Structure 1
């Protein structure tokens, strides 16, 4: 941890405030008609995701936390933990499955993931934007349904249900967005 003046805060930095960790979303310096300038900061609690507005005087100091974004390779799941391997040092890092929330089913062995570390502790993890999965079940097209009209339900090989265009059939591979599991395109080749 390092102390810094409040007016040095920038978006993306992480600070410790009242025993909690916050990511700075935006900050504005406000100069009132009289008196000293204040810094209006919008920040998000790293753990809870709750937003908070806070004001500091420019001379106030805040605790800035070291953050780093590192790439890891996902090895395997062990109970409630995910085992990640550093691609260079081969050191293993454990993170809780909760870090991914409902994106967890899109995590596959050998996948490269980006982990945000605060003071060396993993706090967030992002997956590649898209992943290719096989459609294991797809509803047949309803007679009279035009290709452009509506998507139909399908189940992917990771158990996630999604909506796909009528021309997609079981056994095909499709590209889906890891953010929400939505259909992106038919896999090439």
Structure 2
């Protein structure tokens, strides 16, 4: 860990504050007419997602935390846990499904994900931005629909539903955005 001054906090920095781990989302240097300058920082708690607005004076120091990022490949699901393997050491890591959230549905055998660790403790996970999935059910197009409303619901092989353009049918593979959970394009 390294100490930095309050005015050096930048978006993306992870700091230890009030006994928790926080990532700086936005920072704004404020120089009031009276009194000393300060850095207005919007923080997000890395463990539970709560937000906090905090003022840090230049003279204050905070602990800047370095997160380790490691690549893991997804192996399988075991009850409420998802099992991953460290790409370098081959050690296995179990994460609770709720830690991964809705995006757990996108995990595929052997998929490489990046896990952020703080002192060996997982605090974040990043999936690939897009995945290719097959459509198992697609509603037929309703005649007379306007172009604007012509997207139709479709069910993906992983059980999730997305809206797709009318020309997409069951059995086709599409590219899906894992962050927005939406159709991107037809897969090649």
Give, in angstroms, the shift of residue 71 of structure 1.
1.7
TM-score (norm 1): 0.88
8 A Cα contact 1:69 1:117, kept in partner: yes
Q: Which runs of 4+ in 1 moved over 4 A?
A: 144-149
Mark the runs of 5 or more structure 2 residues left unpaired by the alignment.
Answer: none
Q: Which residue of 2 aligns with 1:8?
A: 8
What is the CA–CA distance in structure 1 between the aligned matches of 2:6 and 2:147, rounded to whole Å? 57
8 A Cα contact 1:46 1:123, kept in partner: yes
Give, in angstroms, the shift of residue 82 of structure 1.
1.6
Tell me which moved more, 141-150 or 110-119.
141-150
8 A Cα contact 1:15 1:65, kept in partner: yes
What is the CA–CA distance in structure 2 between the aligned matches of 1:126 and 1:142, rounded to whole Å? 38
Q: Which residue of 1 aligns with 2:138?
A: 138
Q: Please say if 1:31 is aligned against 2:31.
A: yes
8 A Cα contact 2:6 2:38, kept in partner: no
Q: Deviations over 1:58-83 (max 9, x none)?
A: 22222222212222111112222221
Q: Which residue of 2 aligns with 1:120?
A: 120
TM-score (norm 2): 0.88
8 A Cα contact 2:151 2:165, kept in partner: yes
Give the aligned length: 188
CA RMSD in angstroms, aligned pairs only = 2.1
Mark the runs of 5 or more structure 1 residues left unpaired by the alignment.
Answer: none
CA 1:36–1:74 in structure 2 vs 1: closer, same or farther (change >3 Å)?
A: same
